[in-house]
């Protein structure tokens, strides 16, 4: 069975950011963190560390950086795909801890992929390739239902600014 698949579909209206769609599976390394407890999973072994997840992520991004060819599509030579959870804010600013952790998800999860299939939104993935990714993706979602959904949305300029700040912090 394929491990840790993803499918990132971009939409219209975001200029160059909406130009590509990405999919992949089977990362060669997974970084997972909850608070200061960090796990690096590679080659069926787990290394457990204590520390700042941002610093460990920064080190891994530096270690596995690949040269970028301007003629290639983004992420053509692989990359890191995952999420940074809201509770990582405690590593950036001192705020009270009041929320109840009812989902027990990692604060950070990042898969490092050697190959990421990329398509421009004017192209189509082959149906066999797309079906294998979607079938595996259905197995990836947690079985625990999310009882509350946020109704707050972020405006695109604010999102872009936040993303640029985070990118600068990690570089």
Contact 33, 107 (CB under 8 A): yes
State residue 73's pLDDT score.
Answer: 67
- CA proximity to 130, closest of 23, 4, 27, 12: 23
CA distance 162 to 58: 17
| Residue-wise burial string across 121-160, b where 16 or more C-beta atoms lie within 10 A, e elsewhere | eeeebeeeebeebeebbeeeeeeeeeeeeeeeeeeeeeee
pLDDT tens, the chain, 171 aa long: 789 998 888 776 666 667 778 889 999 999 999 999 999 999 899 999 999 999 999 999 999 987 777 667 666 678 899 999 988 988 888 888 888 888 889 999 999 999 888 887 765 544 444 433 433 333 333 333 333 333 444 566 666 666 666 666 555
83 Cβ contact partners less than 8 Å away, ≥ 6 residues apart? 108, 109, 110
Do 23 and 7 touch, CB atoms closer than 8 A? yes
The domain segmentation of the chain, as residue ranges, is 6-94+103-142+152-170
What Rg, from alpha-carbon coordinates, does the chain have?
17
Question: pTM for the complete prediction?
Answer: 0.67
CA 7 – CA 24 distance, rounded (Å): 7
């Amino acid at each position: 069975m394929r491990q840790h698949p993803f499918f990132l579909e971009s939409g219209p209206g975001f200029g160059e950011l909406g130009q590509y769609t990405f999919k992949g599976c089977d990362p060669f390394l997974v970084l997972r963190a909850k608070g200061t407890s960090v796990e690096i999973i590679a080659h069926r072994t787990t290394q457990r560390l204590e520390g700042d997840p941002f610093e460990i992520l920064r080190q891994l991004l530096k270690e596995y950086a690949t040269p970028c060819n301007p003629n290639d599509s983004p992420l053509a030579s692989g990359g890191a795909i995952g999420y940074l959870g809201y509770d990582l804010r405690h590593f950036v600013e001192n705020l009270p801890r009041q929320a109840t952790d009812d989902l027990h998800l990692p604060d950070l999860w990042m898969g490092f992929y050697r190959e990421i299939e990329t398509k421009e939104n004017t192209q189509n993935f082959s149906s066999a390739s797309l079906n294998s990714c979607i079938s595996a993706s259905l197995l990836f979602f947690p079985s625990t239902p999310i009882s509350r959904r946020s109704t707050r949305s972020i405006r695109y300029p604010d999102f872009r600014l936040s993303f640029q700040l985070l990118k600068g912090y990690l570089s």
